[in-house]
Amino acid sequence: MTSSRVMMGTLVPLESIHATSCSLPNIPLFEGDNVIGRNDLKITDKRVSRKHISLKASANDGIEVIVEGPNPIIVSSQGQRRKICSNDKVFIKDGDIVELIPSTHLFKYMAIGNDNSFQTTQKNTNSSKREKRHSEERESSVSKRNKQILEDEALARDLQQAEDDSILEGSFEKKEALHNFRVSEEKISDTFRLMRVQGLPSWSNSNSVTIRDVIQGDVLVAILSNYMVDIDWLLSACPNLKKIPHVLVAHGESGASFDHLPVSHFKNKLGNWVFHKPPLPISYGTHHSKAMFLIYPTGIRIIVHTANLIHVDWNNKTQGLWMQDFPWKDASALTGNNRSPFENDLVDYLATLKIPELRVSLPSIGNVSINAAFFRKFDYSRAKVRLIASVPGYHNGSSLTKWGHMKLRSILESCKFSKEFSKSPLIYQFSSLGSLDEKWMNEFGSSLSAGKTDDGFPLGNGKPLVIFPTVEDVRCSLEGYAAGGAIPSPQKNVEKDFLRKYWARWKADHVGRCRAMPHIKTYTRYNGQDIAWFLLTSANLSKAAWGALQKNNTQLMIRSYELGVLFLPSMLLHESSFSCTSTSVVPTVSKSSSHVENPKAKLVSLCWNRERESNSSSEIVRLPIPYQLPPPTYTSEDIPWSWDRRYTKKDVYGQTWPNHV
């Protein structure tokens, strides 16, 4: 019995290096053998094994820690962090910090004697902690978010090595560019936001977004579209989902990967959830789109983003998210044929998913069927973006320009841009590279080079650069080589000779994300810090995602589902102050800019300098593009990451790749 054993110390849970936590219990350590795992902590994080670590405590030798599970731990002692892998052991002493998962589930070891005064103190401490926990639960979401930002800043100061400080902190001017990036609620749909990354200084998470920031309020129906879904994590990260009456998850997992969707495990708890895998008529395709459709009593919120619904994607990687709220149409608009391009593109896309029809009762609306046609009940006339979707199939005739890169080409062909973008360069930035050839790269480049100048001349082909992490970028990243698992490009695709002229470095110091490996996918045309157009999408650079022309360019073959949003200056000339959740924003569409003579909008990067802009009449819309423009090209020493090569140089955690545990 533990009561007859001598207590040697306790593991005190921490929110960060400097702040204790009330969400996890103190763990007493007794003389002899101790075991700690997921069940002891009462957490659902499956990265923590049921028998994660064992600790052998003795009065003479201290505490010996052995890693029993497959995942490594981190031990911080006297300012030094060490990664301890499976089956390895380490001794800890008073004041050392143990991270059961790197940067997660932190505990501080406090050595004690076996006296009654300590046990009495423990009781008082536990009582105080319960009171504190109840108090914290009453805090507003804003206060909690601010507190978390401060804690992450403290965590970053301790966990980042000295040589990384210049990258994470950056110059004063670069920090200010992101720190001053503030988007008012009525302008939030004009741009996109970066997702919050754990362990970074607060300046680099300025105006960043978490999943709780977007799934909030009185949601009646939620449709979550994604590739990978971890239900355990999703419910812990966004408890509000448990309160939503109807949830449909359109996913892309199958086979062994379907284990991430423990449907039977949650059947009793989540009887109102429906899981659906859209049809994939062509081999090697995936349902890769990442979006959320949230229906409220007042309208719909549409969110297009780049993250899988898993912990690492929403916490450790560079990701992007766009959202806009739209009101219900009034009765007269429902009977008319005045439908916006956004509406038509959205409904056409949703129809291809073949989602099972949901019959629900909505307040003030009544009984309705949630299907593709249902989404015509909302007013998208003030949409700030165009949708660029891909769906599997052989597309020809009128459908040739409906999907993939041909859809992007058709929209750009109808647009006029400033003369400065004539023959200006292109950026392709993504996290996975398909099997490509020069013919397809020219085909794709022609689509992204479409468009005319203000005086009607073609913009001409732009020279593309491909931003892609190097081996060294991955090795030195926040996750070490483990980040390379989410950059799944094989050597045969990456190391083709013709690609060498395209390679450019991932440099993200101005947003503090050099070491947060990109899972975001973006494509753009630019000149300096001026942006002609910008696409945020789920689509990697592959024929499967974008499509390949066949039959003398009369047919486009696409394998996968993808979804993205295209930012164009011409879409930003009106404002919409409608919000489904905010009481501070009037729930009506606001004035248009039509009263301004020849109104203009201008897309720019965060590093754009207003003092150098002579035309002050344009409305400036800043985009938090997370990489340097122009990007530095590869040197002779840079090697693009491929996940099936062996790397023997150890990463920041002392690991090689692949790590056979």
Residues involved in catalysis: 288, 519
CB-facing half-sphere around the CA of 105: CA atoms within 13 A: 24
* Cα distance between residue 201 and residue 168, in whole Å: 8
Residue 393: what residue type? Answer: G
Q: By C-alpha distance, which of 90, 125, 88 is closest to 13?
A: 125
With tokens 């989902």, the residue in question is: 241
Backbone phi and psi for residue 286, each to the nearest 5 degrees, phi listed first: -140, 155
* Cα distance between residue 272 and residue 255, in whole Å: 24
Preceding peptide of 630 cis, ω within 30°: yes
443: Cβ contacts below 8 Å, ≥ 6 apart: 405, 548, 549
Beta strands in 87-245 (DSSP E): 89-92, 97-101, 104-111, 193-194, 221-225
Report how far Cα 520 is from the mean position of its chain's Cα atoms.
7
Q: Give the Å distances, CA to CA, from 3 to 29, 31, 117.
A: 12, 11, 15
Q: Give the Å distances, CA to CA, from 384 to 131, 322, 533, 565, 573.
A: 47, 10, 13, 9, 9
Task: Using CB atoms within 10 Å of the CB of residue 537, give its burial: 0 to 12 exposed, 13 to 18 middle, 19+ buried.
Answer: buried
DSSP-assigned states of every residue in 333-344: HHHS----HHHH
* Cα distance between residue 507 and residue 625, in whole Å: 11
* Cα distance between residue 532 and residue 566, in whole Å: 11
Residue 85: what residue type? Answer: C
* Cα distance between residue 378 and residue 389, in whole Å: 20
Could you tell me if 561 and 289 are in contact, meaning their C-beta atoms sit under 8 angstroms apart?
yes
Could you tell me if 53 and 65 are in contact, meaning their C-beta atoms sit under 8 angstroms apart?
yes
Output helix, strand, coil percentages for the chain, rounded to the nearest 5.
30, 30, 40
Token pair of 385 as six digits: 């973006």
DSSP-assigned states of every residue in 251-278: ----GGGGGGS-HHHHTTTTTTEEEE--
∠ CA 370-376-379, nearest 5°, is 125
Residue 626: what residue type? Answer: P
With tokens 């763990």, the residue in question is: 27
Beta-bridge mates of residue 292: 224, 303
101: Cβ contacts below 8 Å, ≥ 6 apart: 45, 47, 48, 71, 73
- The residue length of the chain stands at 661
**DSSP character at residue 48:** S
* Cα distance between residue 6 and residue 568, in whole Å: 69
CB-facing half-sphere around the CA of 635: CA atoms within 13 A: 3
Could you tell me if 294 and 219 are in contact, meaning their C-beta atoms sit under 8 angstroms apart?
yes
Q: By C-alpha distance, which of 404, 114, 204 is closest to 285?
A: 404
DSSP-assigned states of every residue in 411-449: HHHT-EE-GGGTT--EEEE-S-B----HHHHHHHHHHHT
Could you tell me if 375 and 300 are in contact, meaning their C-beta atoms sit under 8 angstroms apart?
yes
Token pair of 273 as six digits: 């959830």
